[in-house]
Amino acid sequence: MKILTISDSFKGSMSSIEVGEIVTKYYQAKGFIANYLPISDGGEGFLDVIKNIFKNNSACINESIIVKNANFGDVDAHYLIDTATKTAYLELAEASGLTQIKEAERRTLYASTYGFGQIIRNVILKYHPAKIIIGLGGSATSDMGAGMLEAMGVEFIDSAGFLITKINNAKLMQIRKIRLGAFKRLIKKTEFITLTDVTNPLLGKNGAIPVFAPQKGIQEDDLMLMEKNFCHFKKMLQAYFKKPLNDFAGAGAAGGIGFTLKYLCNSQITSGIEEILKMINFEQLVKEYDVVITGEGCFDEQSLQGKVISGIMKYQPARMIIICGLRKLNNDTKAVNNFTDVYAIVPTVAKAEESLANPQECLIKLLDTIKL
């Protein structure tokens, strides 16, 4: 029997690589033929996937740069540049991700994507790439990418004519004028492609603020304020372009940065997991294995909407097993029942506190409960 593990990260506890290594070693020790591949839907771990794809490509360079995290503290971020094709691969979570901020220090109303803009600016000035492919997801921010734009040269002016700096969601309402001259010169020769893991629009009940801001620590009392700030920023952008800017599926990705990348960077917005599975030729690969094991930290409704699990499910493996930290989606859900077995650490083998304190040990205990 051949087993392939291709799991998303268990957010806050194990990376895609760590999950893959643990599961693979477990089944190899039992005499199975087992392998793993790192995978991502565009969020955390996107660069790990690209590194694995280009591991034998000497033209692919891993660059390191000190930038600002969502709270303007310093963080060591990375990006990849394929000098042969002049294509850069960037991961927003490297600079502006939740994993870069301690839970007690998350201040989403004041968080900024400035550090991610620093990465984009650096790669353009240093390598002049023809194409930048961006993995969105796992952001600690909800600023519609305004911080990113600031780092790339966009000037935001308030009612008194002063420059607004260190912009975030709380400052969006102060904007009265936008200047894009330096920004346009920076990006004029670069094509942008954005890989996202969600299909949520920017605004409304299914938009970035009501759906994702609470996951980043925002209290319910601030949700309406943040949504109003989004509406104002959208209004200012429409005033600049002198035309309506329509909402769309994926605009709400990473705190609204999907919307901004499309209209200001002319970026193509596409499904991260679908594009990445094409990159690794998963259509052929899945035929070589009897069992495909996939998963993520929390298995819920979003797991079936643009995430790693939903992408792999479309290829209908001979047998697909889902492992997760916590299951919120029942086995009797039609899509799940048709294609999968679901195994959750909590409460099967551990309580929530133990699963976070000893995730590797708990995963091994979970594997002991799976019947192949």
Inform me whether the pLDDT recorded for 1 exceeds 90.
yes
Inform me whether the pLDDT recorded for 340 exceeds 70.
no
CB 139 within 8 A of CB 161: no
Q: How many CA atoms lie within 13 A of 88 on its CB side?
A: 24
For residue 336, the model assigns a pLDDT of 55
pLDDT in tens, 108-125: 999 999 999 999 999 999
Helix (H, G, I), strand (E, B) or coil at 261: helix
Segments making up each domain of the chain, as ranges: 2-39+287-367, 46-273
Going 276 to 217 to 99 to 7, the CA torsion angle's sign is negative
pLDDT in tens, 137-176: 889 999 999 999 999 999 999 999 999 999 999 999 999 9
Task: Say which CATH architecture domain 46-273 belongs to.
Answer: Alpha-Beta Complex (3.90)
Phi-psi region of 326 (alpha: psi -120 to 50; beta: other; left: phi over 0): beta
* Rg, Å, the chain Cα set: 21
Q: Which of 209, 212, 95, 86 is nearest to 151 (CA)?
A: 95
Angle CA 335–341–344, to nearest 5: 110
Inform me whether the pLDDT recorded for 235 exceeds 90.
yes
- Region 65-87: what's the mean pLDDT? 97
CB 356 within 8 A of CB 12: yes
Q: Which fold has domain 2-39+287-367?
A: Rossmann fold (3.40.50)
Confidence of residue 129 (pLDDT cuts 50, 70, 90): very high
Instruction: Provide DSSP, 173-239.
Output: GG--EEE-HHHHHHHTT-EEEEEES----SSSTTSHHHHHGGGGT--HHHHHHHHHHHHHHHHHHHH
**Do strands 33-36 and 2-5 pair parallel, antiparallel, or not at all (unpaired)?**
parallel
End-to-end CA distance of the chain, in Å? 9
Q: Which of 131, 295, 103, 212 is nearest to 230 (CA)?
A: 212
Helix (H, G, I), strand (E, B) or coil at 84: coil
Confidence of residue 220 (pLDDT cuts 50, 70, 90): confident
Inform me whether the pLDDT recorded for 307 exceeds 90.
no
pLDDT in tens, 3-60: 999 999 998 789 999 999 999 999 999 999 999 999 998 888 999 999 999 999 999 9
Inform me whether the pLDDT recorded for 306 exceeds 80.
no
Calculate the average pLDDT of the chain: 94
Longest dimension (CA), the chain: 71
Q: Amino acid identity, residue 256? A: G
Determine the distance from the C-alpha atom of residue 251 to the mean position of all C-alpha atoms in its chain, rounded to a whole number: 13
